[in-house]
Structures are given as C-alpha cells and as structure tokens.
C-alpha cells in the first residue's frame, strides 16, 4: 500500500523547496495544517522545532526533517534546566513561549504563541488579570513591553538572523532613498529597528501588508526579516520595489543558515522516508507540550476564523 506523503515548507525555505510542497506557510498555518493532515509521512522543510511541533500535533504520522542540523538559535541559546529554574522563580506568572522553541521548552509552558497571535493572546491574558513571563525571544518580548506597556520578565535568547538588523544600517539605507520609503519588520528584530517600522508583524502579516499595499507605487519597501519571504512578496507584487533591510552598510543578505539546509536533494530523500525522523520524544513530553500548543490553536481558530 502506497504511503501518503505530505510535504510542508516554511516561507523562509528556497523557492525550489516551496514548489515541492503541498503547503507553504508560516508557523501558525503549518501547525494547523499538520494537525489535520491525513498523512502517513509528513516531510517538514523547515527547522527542527517545527517538525517536533508537527509530531506533537499528529503523533500517528511519521515526521521527517530533511536535515538533522537545521535547528534554531532560539533553541540552542536556551538551557532547559536554567529555563525551569527561571519559570519556578515566577510561580504567580503565566509562562508564554514563542513557538520557536524545543519540545522540552514547550512542555514547561502554559501557552505557545506565534508572531501572528502573540499580541492577541498576551492581551487576552492581561485582560483576565494574569501576569506573564515571556520566552525565549528577548527582542519580541522587548517590543511587546514597549508597545503595550507590559512589564513582562523576559528570557534572553535571540534569532541570530533577525538580531543582525540594526538601526544605523537602516538609517543609511533610508537616507540613500530620495523618494518615499517604508519599513516592515518581523518582531524578532531588535527594538530600535522595530521603532522605525511602519508595520510590525508575522511573516504572513508582512506578506499580506505587501499584497494590500496601495500607496506610492514608486516607493521603496524595506523588509526586515529572513530573505526567503522576498520570493513570495515578489510573486504577489512584482510591481513594487521590495528590498531586504540591510544588516550593515551595503549588505542586503540576511539568510537563515538552518532553513537553507533544506536542499532539493534532502527534501527528495525525506519524501522517500530518509532523513531525521522525529521519533525521540516520549509520550509524556509530547503530552505536556501538546497542551499549550492546542490552547494556542483553539484560540487562533476562534479569533481568526
């Protein structure tokens, strides 16, 4: 009997990889799709924490990561023992964790959020009178504290890609443009960059902003996120001058090395059943991590339906 293989790809993978996928999306879209996928094998062209999330949500499926090395700095910069101590030091707080985290990290969380729903979920918790601690992304947490006046204690890890964007390089790039210019940015970027942005949002949010753009057609739109999304933005709006925000003077070259490990050859092998199978999570770990993820997905389906 032929096994049904479903291939998922994040927006940050190469265009050729996205063309091989049954579903392309951001973390929230792919999590929802993985939960409902009627698949024997799920090939996840992304990074390890995404494949782990797919396995947690669809434990009956075999989940394969094309390259075992495709991790995330938000994971590698987080010591789980230290995180557990940090959480225990705030016993009266709700622990909200960004989805860019390991399964063990998620198991220590009360809520999981993505960059698309983090604002709404934390606002919901504060409206209920809760106090919140936020991990692992320091930049995202700093922006939420700045934007909404929260005083959330923050874990200190960063996305090594987004953390390279800097205000000085942006200012220089802006000054070199004589006409109208805009900046849209992912909330994993440093706060000084986000403070200059015309729009701050998730990968899908930025893509939708570009699709709906109706201002000066000659304006330059700088995009402060991983360069993979420029492909999707260019397909949607080939009429616009879209440029990745610089990370230093003269460079617009910010790629996630882990996403780019998803090569055509690796994905093809994964579709044949080879690669890093996500088979190392215990039932107890998956059950503990599933609860905060499902809490997020149920919230998102109610509010974004």
Place of tokens 């204690």: 153
Q: Which helix (H) or strand (E) holds 227?
A: none
Q: How far apart are the first and last CA of the chain?
A: 36
pTM above 0.85?
A: yes
Cβ partners under 8 Å of residue 290, min gap 6:
56, 57
Residue count of the chain: 305
* 3 state SS of 128: coil
* 3 state SS of 224: strand
pLDDT one digit per residue (tens) for the chain, 305 residues:
678 999 999 999 999 999 999 999 998 899 889 999 999 999 999 999 999 999 999 999 999 999 999 999 999 999 999 999 999 999 999 999 999 999 999 999 999 999 999 999 999 999 999 999 999 999 999 999 999 999 999 999 999 999 999 999 999 999 999 999 999 999 999 999 999 999 999 999 999 999 999 999 999 999 999 999 999 999 999 999 999 999 875 555 678 999 999 999 999 999 999 999 999 999 999 999 999 999 998 998 887 65
Token pair in block for residue 73: 């700095």
Neighbouring-strand partners of residue 63: 42
Cβ atoms of 62 and 274 closer than 8 Å: no
Using only C-alpha atoms, what is the Rg of the chain?
19
């Amino acid at each position: 009997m032929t096994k049904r293989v479903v291939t998922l790809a994040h927006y940050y993978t190469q265009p050729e990889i996205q063309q091989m996928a049954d579903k392309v999306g951001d973390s929230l879209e792919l999590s929802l799709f993985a939960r409902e996928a009627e698949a024997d094998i799920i090939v996840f062209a992304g990074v390890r924490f995404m494949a782990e999330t797919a396995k947690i949500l669809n434990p009956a499926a075999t989940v394969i990561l094309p390259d075992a090395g495709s991790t995330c700095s938000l994971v590698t910069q987080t010591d789980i023992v230290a995180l557990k101590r940090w959480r225990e030091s705030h016993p009266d707080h709700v622990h909200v964790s960004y989805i860019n985290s390991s399964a063990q990290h998620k198991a220590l969380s009360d809520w999981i959020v993505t960059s698309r729903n983090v604002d709404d979920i934390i606002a919901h918790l504060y409206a209920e009178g809760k106090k919140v601690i936020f991990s692992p992304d320091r930049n995202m947490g700093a922006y939420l504290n700045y934007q909404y006046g929260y005083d959330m204690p923050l874990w200190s890890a960063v996305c090594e890609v987004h953390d390279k964007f800097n205000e000085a390089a942006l200012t220089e790039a802006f000054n070199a443009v004589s006409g109208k210019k805009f900046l849209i940015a992912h909330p994993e970027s440093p706060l000084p960059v986000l403070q200059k942005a015309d729009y701050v949002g998730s990968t899908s949010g930025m893509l939708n902003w570009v699709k709906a753009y109706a201002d000066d057609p000659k304006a330059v739109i700088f995009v402060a996120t991983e360069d993979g999304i420029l492909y999707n933005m260019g397909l949607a709006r080939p009429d616009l001058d879209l440029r990745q925000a610089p990370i230093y003077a003269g460079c617009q070259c910010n790629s996630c090395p882990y996403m780019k490990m998803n090569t055509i050859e690796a994905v093809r092998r994964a579709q044949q059943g080879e690669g890093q199978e996500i088979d190392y999570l215990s039932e107890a770990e998956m059950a503990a991590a599933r609860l905060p993820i499902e809490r997020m997905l149920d919230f998102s389906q109610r509010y974004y339906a």
